[in-house]
Structure 1
Amino acid sequence: MNSFKIAYKLLTNNLRIYGLYVIVLVVTVATYYNFVAIQYNDTFVQLTQRLQSAVVASMTSGFVLMCTVVFFMWHANGFFFKQRQKETGIYMLMGISSSKIGRVFAIESMLLGGLSMVVGLTVGVMFSKLFFMLLGKAMSLEVEIPFTISFKAMIQLVIVFGLIFALLGRKNYNEVKKSRLIDMIHATKAKPAVPQLNYVKGILGVVCIAVGYLVALTFLRWNLDLLFAAMTTLVLVSAGTYFFFGSCLTIMFKKLLKSKQMVYKDVRLVSISNLFFRLKANYRSLAMTAILAAATVTAFSISLAFKQYAEDHKLIEAPYSITYASSDPDIKDKVRQAIEATDHQLIGWNELRLLPIKTEYASHIRIDPQNEAILISYSQLQRTLEFLEYKNFEKLLREMEPQSNEIVFLFSARTMASPVRVHGEEVKINGEPYRVKEARQVPITGNVDRFGNKNIYVLPDKDYTKLQTNHDETLLHGIRISDQENSEALVQSLAAIVPGGKVNGSINQYVQEYYALGTFFFLGSIMSIVFMMATFSTIYFKILSDAFTDKEQYTILKKIGMSEAEVGRSVYMQVGIAFILPVLVGIAHSMVAMSMLEVIMSVQFVTQMLYSIGIFVVVMIAFYVGLSKNYTRMVYTEASRT
């Protein structure tokens, strides 16, 4: 029998063992195919600039997905090889050369990869129509996207995943080739070595995480570039997590084992000792679990945050049904008559007096394009927020009310996210100095021509009156009508009335970046599902590996009188610590990442973050209980039969 037939037979016999691994790979392949297919879909290409957000988001998501899955596959492959070391030793004992065994294992891993790609591609193609329908809905696209099969996406996927599985096959071949028979036969009986204490790496782990957190939370204060700050945080936190579980956790458990009151109680000694002596072999999987947990919670939090932000920002960009600029009262009467002549009902009419100004910051930072901005009075801000019935506007107005020599900064309607901070800065408005009291984003003008791209400054009424004397104001009319979704015909008729035809309807006020939020919400939700599956799988393989090792130990403990209830408590504690530590570290990483996003976007996502953490914790608890019961059954019930 040749190597290929042996590998095929082994694969069919071990499919039950590979079950969860194959499921994760199939989902990953299907997801990656649809991510890549976005940039090759002809219908999306025809949607002009809206495509760019989807393409960039899908390429970024695909890259992150591949990095995550490569780590997961490498870890899972190591688990499978470890569990089959005794089988490898038996093959060697039968006289089969290590090179042939290596070829068999390499072919088996590539066959497994091929099976995952075939099934994953089939699933991806079958659900691609649904994928693009949901993506189009998230992006508010009104175009029907036909079902297509992207052969370019298939080729790219086969190349990427084929290379990964080829490398895994080569790795398995090399592992078997350099293995010794005696080590393979006694692999399951090998005792873990006592972890070595490395205080330098332990301290370095904590320092790296702390510095990474500090950079993420204070990068604006240090005037760091956003990309540099994000990459620095990612590298420091990832390295710190690796050192924390590899060295710092070893030191902590060593200290804990010396505490008699803590350890010598109930079954704690067994659980803590098992964790301590396996840290040298398990710290990589624990660190990876923490990073995957952080990725899961962050991806889900960001998707929820962007969804909420998109809803909130809709009012920022289009607070009115119709807007136009004119100081002529006759034009106003004609516009009113035109509205009353239609089926639309006039709900309200807001008039904003806008004063064009020049700004100059004492710190010479560039905030306003060409140093041009808009000035309004506080009473106009108050009247506008009341007119729009903006949420918590009374509290907001109290917080923002400027005093003498103070000014409030309002981001332009087109600002989707800005790390700029002007709070406390001194700015000169047409030569007069003021201190910026607050920096917020609230609905004022909307994303309209001439004004939507300009930041707005708010002065006390008396200070505004002084500056108003020598400058010409622009009167912007904001109108709210019923059934504004079907107001396009009315807007076109009003364009014939208003000089210059500059009339804006609510439908055409959105900037293209708004639709990117829907893209990130949809892709982020899918990413969080894949990350969660990878997190569960990583923990599962780690716990399952420990269970195989613990069978002999718990058989001995049972013989000397340890009850099943005591075994269960020991297992729950041991598995619980392996769950809790990576999950807590991952949640902490995610909270810092979301705090950084809050700084960038100048909003708070506390509710979305708590919601995503809550769901993740609930699912993890359910998974923990089920896995602990399975662990107890393996090490106690099944071990007693041997």
Structure 2
Amino acid sequence: MKFSMARKFAFQNLKANRILEIPFVLSSGIMLMLFNIMISLINNKYVQTRHKTLPELITMGAVVVGIFTIIFVMYTTNFLLKKRNKEFALYAILGLEKKHIRKIISIEFFVLFSIIAILGMVGGYIFGQISFLGLNRLMHDVTGRIMDYPFSITAMIVCSITMLGLYFITIARSSYRIYMTTPVQLLGKQHSGEGEPKSRFVLTIIGLAALCGGYGIALTTEGTLSALVNFFIASLLVIAATYLLFISFSIIILKMQRRRKSYFKPEKFLGVSGLLYRMKSNAVSLASIAVMSVGIIITLSATATIYSNIQKNGDSFIAFSRDYILTSDTAVYENNFKDIQKNLENRVSQTVTGKAKIKDSFIELSMNPAVAKKGNSIETYTRDAKTSPYFMFTYDLASYNKKLNKNISLKDDEVLMTSNRKGALNMSSLKIGDRTFKVREIDNKILSSANVDSYALVVKDLSTMQYIASVLKTYNIQNKTMENSSIKCSIEWNVSGINKNSYDRSLSKLKNDNGYTLESRVEVLKGLYELNGGFLFLGVLIGIIFLTGTILVIYYKQISEGYEDREKYQIMKKIGLNDDLIKKTGASQIVWMLYAPLMVAIVHCMVASKIVYQLLKMFGVNQFTQYGTYFGLVIGVFFVIYFVIFKMTSRTYYKIVK
């Protein structure tokens, strides 16, 4: 066969199969576009020079997007090839050789992948500029401009290689399918999977066990660090359970429906029997929709909560009661405290021309060992401890009074105490070593920015702090021994009568001093907005990926069912089945095709909300209502979008059937 004839066949096929191929091109183009945007941002000089953590975040996101792009393209091409088995068989029957069919397919997919590549690269550049400006806005960076987002040659090469690789994989799969099967087998595969599935009770039991295990972990996990480990275990169990139960338990329910008297009504009979005979393939699609829906809801609600929390609390970041903090790396003892304090004060005074420009300065002593709580006793945390660790942020009373403008006094056996976790502070006395302190509870202000389960302890003086440091020891990684916790000394201050921008630049000398650590409120907030703005940006992109995949699966599921039902309904029409009954039959399947995956996804998300909230505490989210608000909002919006998608695809299904 000449190339011109093969090309003619290919373009005729593209036109004839546009109802299948247009969604494939659009969805794959969107995914490649997002992948292109992320690769462009990773290699963008502005992003690399202005932001420290953002390139790493985007790299992780690019890996996720790349994997899902490959998965969905492979899924879609497999669907396209399967739906054309009958066409390939007819080609062979009409006398075309297998190499001729392969040539036609190669031209078709070359055209499709070329269009996808063009959409991904052109759309990636155009929407990449919008994404670049939006990302900078999320991070409160107002200096970024469109000219700082040039066309990325690297992104173009990576995307081209990705599409080229997927093209050759698709051609190899289609060639294998054609060369290893006969026309009769291809015709048979068009209707494969229609045998009535068996009731798989073993899979149901395994699925229920996995579901109970995943739910149990999600509901019983306490503590941020424990949630970080258990979340992935629970996710894997629930994902496995979702697929197993859709495959097995749904069959059992459908077979139970056949025992009811209402089953013999025409619309009920057609709906249930149709689903039952195709449930093997439908179950996987429904489970995939449910899993991707969970990903959309959790990703968007969590990232929106994280960002809104910074928006709400960023300007009152209480850990920085002053604009600047300089900390000495030297451990503090009774004999060197005065020297360390004097060195800190001298270094700060040298940053200005007159000492009067230094305002509201004070010296602070602090330490933060990991501890375990047992009743009213606090002990050193060890790996074999049966409770989750807490960090004990310990401060001296003088700095606490200065920080919050208080005038509190303490006796030798008294401490001030609070926690960033509700219900964690339920003691009137505190035992540390051989000493018992009377606890005076204070408001949770000095821990408002703590991202892990923590206590805050304010003690009378340095001697009390040294005693606690000798009891609550810290593991030394280098020496692999338990040592007294290290007490650090820092100075916090503001400035007045001086330009803040020029002063920040003049602090570069302090930043380079060995043995000292300088932090500023502006830089910390910038880092927080960068980190959380990056998370929100990635959350939106990954949410779009999941949503695109969900739309794709729903659409092809409806198309697949339409083609499978068309012949059956044409036969039923000949024996008197009317169009109204066809619509009623389609409506009876909504419970399975629409509400079943969506309701399963919502239940999964509601159960996961507890462990997700534990993880959000790492980002300073300390009120469940913050997460609950966005959780409910995302579910509401997603339900509307999901319903609209289903109604639109249902019209296509009905047109095919009719």
TM-score tier (shorter): 0.7 to 0.9
How many Å apart are 1:320 and its aligned residue?
A: 5.5
Question: Which of 536, 555, 566 is the aligned partner of 1:521?
Answer: 536
Mapped partners of 1:591, 1:269: distance in 2:
34
CA separation in 1, counterparts of 2:225 and 2:586?
49
Match of 2:184 in 1: 182
Give the aligned residue type for 2:247: G
Question: In 2 relative to 1, CA 189–355 (structure 1 residues): closer, same or farther, beyond 3 Å?
Answer: closer
What RMSD, in angstroms, separates the aligned Cα atoms of the two structures? 4.8
Instruction: Note closer, same or farther for the CA distance 1:258–1:320 as it changes in structure 2 (3 Å cut).
Output: same
Contact 1:38 1:58 in 2 (8 A): yes
Q: How many residues align?
A: 578
Alignment of 1:365-376 (within 5 A): 365=381, 373-374=394-395
Q: Which residue of 2 aligns with 1:231?
A: 232
Distance 1:556 1:444 in 2: 71
Is 2:41 the counterpart of 1:38? Answer: yes
Q: Counterpart of 1:28?
A: 31
- Structure 1 residue identity aligned to 2:236: V
CA distance in 1, matches of 2:453, 2:187: 74
Pairwise CA distance, 1:123: 1.4
Letter of the structure 2 residue corresponding to residue 235 of structure 1: L
Cα drift, residue 32 of structure 1: 0.2
The 2-side partners of 1:439 and 1:283 are apart by: 55
The aligned residue for residue 546 of structure 1 is 561
Alpha carbons of 1:72 and 1:544: their partners in 2 closer, same or farther (altered >3 Å)? same
- The 3-state SS of whatever aligns with 2:598 is helix
Distance 2:423 2:158 in 1: 42
Structure 2 contact 367–488 (Cα < 8 Å) conserved: no
Q: Structure 1 residues 168 and 209, CA, compared in 2 at 3 Å: closer, same or farther? A: farther
2:20 partner SS: coil
Q: Distance in 2 between matches of 1:439 and 1:254?
A: 61
Task: Compute the displacement of 1:56 (Å).
Answer: 2.3
| Aligned counterpart, 1:569 | 584
Aligned counterpart in structure 2 of residue 623 of structure 1, from 614, 626, 645? 645
- Residues 381 and 458 of structure 1 are in contact (CA less than 8 Å); yes or no, is this contact kept in structure 2? no
Matched, 1:19 2:41: no
Residue equivalent to 1:269: 269
1:320 and 1:446 in contact (8 A); partners too: no
CA gap of 1:364–1:440, structure 2 versus 1, over 3 A, is farther
Contact conserved, 2:33 with 2:124, CA < 8 A, in 1?
Answer: yes
Q: Deviations over 1:314-357 (max 9, x none)?
A: 12357757578999xxxxxxxxxx9xx99xxxxxx999996757
Aligned partner of residue 303 in structure 1, secondary structure:
helix
Structure-2 change in CA distance of 1:514 and 1:122 (3 Å): closer
Deviations 1:543-601 (A, max 9, x none): 11101111232234344444433321221221442122222223333444543231123
Matching residue of 1:76: 76
What's the secondary structure of 1:373's corresponding residue?
Answer: strand
In structure 1, give the amino acid aligned to 2:248: S
Shift of 1:97: 2.2
Cα pair 2:394 2:457 within 8 Å, conserved: no
Tell me which residue corresponds to 1:287. 287
Matched residues in 2 for 1:485 and 1:578: separation?
66
**Contact 1:253–1:272 at 8 Å: present in 2 too?**
yes
8 A Cα contact 2:193 2:280, kept in partner: no
1:92, 1:98 within 8 Å by CA — same for their partners in 2? yes
d(CA) in 2 for partners of 1:64, 1:137: 24
Q: Deviations over 1:166-189 (max 9, x none)?
A: 212211111222233234446666
Paired residue for 2:211? 209
How far the C-alpha of 1:254 sits from its partner, in A, is 1.6
Q: 1:129 to 1:283 in 2, by over 3 A?
A: same
Alignment of 1:418-433 (within 5 A): 432-433=435-436
Partner of 2:410: none
List gaps (5 residues or longer) in structure 1: 328-337, 343-348, 386-403, 412-419, 495-499
Whole-Å separation in 2 of the counterparts to 1:298 and 1:61: 16
Alpha-carbon distance in 1 for matches of 2:498, 2:598: 46
One-letter amino acid of the structure 1 residue matched with residue 104 of structure 2:
V
Name the structure 2 match of 1:389.
Answer: none
Instruction: Tell me if structure 2 keeps the 8 A contact 1:406–1:434.
Output: no
Which aligned pairs between 1:56-71 and structure 2 lie closer than 5 A? 56-71=56-71
Match of residue 123 from structure 2: 123
* 2:479 matched residue in structure 1: none
User: Partner of 1:582 in structure 2?
Assistant: 597
* Deviation readout 1:398-425 (Å, 9 max, x if unpaired): xxxxxx99942249xxxxxxxx996679
**2:380 aligned with 1:364, yes or no?**
yes
User: Does the Cα contact within 8 Å between 1:421 and 1:439 map onto a contact in 2?
Assistant: no
Q: Could you tell me how far apart the structure 1 residues matched to 2:448 and 2:645 are?
A: 50
User: Partners of 1:594 and 1:25 in 2: how far apart?
Assistant: 31
Give percent identity, aligned residues only. Answer: 19
Residue type of the partner of 2:630? Q
Letter of the structure 2 residue corresponding to residue 20 of structure 1: P
How far has the Cα of 1:194 moved from its partner? 0.6
- The reply to whether residue 150 of structure 1 matches residue 152 of structure 2 is yes
Q: Distance in 1 between matches of 2:321 and 2:504?
A: 12
**Which residue of 2 is the match for residue 10 of structure 1?**
13
Counterpart CA distance in 1 for 2:440 and 2:69 is: 47
- Aligned 8 A contact 1:374 1:455 in 2: no
Once the two structures are superposed, the pairs formed by residues 199-348 of structure 1 within 5 Å of their partners are 199-220=201-222, 226-227=228-229, 229-261=230-262, 263-265=263-265, 267-314=267-314, 315-316=316-317, 322=323
Aligned to 2:167: 165
CA 1:225–1:609 in structure 2 vs 1: closer, same or farther (change >3 Å)? closer
The answer on whether the counterparts of 2:417 and 2:442 sit within 8 Å (CA) in structure 1 is no
User: How far apart, CA to CA, are the structure 1 residues paired with 2:607 and 2:55?
Assistant: 27
Distance, in Å, in 2 between the alignment partners of 1:190 and 1:410 is: 58
Whether the aligned pair in 2 keeps the contact of 1:85 and 1:187 (CA below 8 Å) is yes
Alpha carbons 2:390, 2:452 under 8 Å: kept = no
How far did residue 73 of structure 1 move?
Answer: 2.2
What residue is the counterpart of 2:105 in the other structure? 105
Q: Deviations over 1:475-494 (max 9, x none)?
A: 9989999xx99865799999
The equivalent residue for 1:596 is: 611
TM-score where L is the length of structure 1: 0.75
Query: Does the 8 Å contact 1:296/1:532 carry over to 2?
Result: yes
SS of the residue corresponding to residue 589 of structure 2 reads helix
